[in-house]
Amino acid sequence: MTDFTFRAMWPIEDLDRPISALIAEACRDLDAMAMERGGRVAGEPHWTVAGEMLVCEVPAVELGNVIPMPRKATYRGARLPDHVVVDLEILRSRGCSVKQIAAELGVSEKTVRRYLADAV
């Protein structure tokens, strides 16, 4: 259940960059932006371009209503720090690639693949 739709916008400064690259970059800021406004992302983002702006609309809940999601924090006997697991799950839910997730979290692509394989 969501409380509201959170909307965020980023100026498109380089019109030659592919939209997928702009979305990957914006994904990094989305959670922090929602939290600054008292919410937490709670669903799949919907991306559009309006003029020279990248626009994201995503279901959100008020921070007071957040229920921790169950998550698997281990893979093949190794433990990932909880904050890495949360960030990994958020990036995965947004459709980010293994390469994008690894780069954003500062872990190897192999680590991301192993976690995702065991988390299914």
Q: What is the pLDDT of residues 34-44, one digit of tens each?
A: 888 878 888 88
Domains of the chain (ranges plus CATH)?
A: 1-67 (3.30.1490), 69-120 (1.10.10.60)
87 phi, psi to nearest 5 deg: -60, -40
| Average pLDDT score, the chain | 79
Give the containing element (helix H, strand E) for 35. helix 19-36
All residue ranges of the chain with pLDDT < 70 are 1-2, 64-79, 82-83, 119-120
How far apart are alpha carbons 102 and 105 in whole angstroms? 5
CA gap 45, 51 in Å, rounded: 19
Cα 13 from chain centroid?
22
* Identity of residue 23: I
53-62 vs 74-75, strand pairing mode: unpaired
Integer CA distances (angstroms), 86 to 91, 109, 118, in order: 9, 17, 15
pTM for this one?
Answer: 0.52
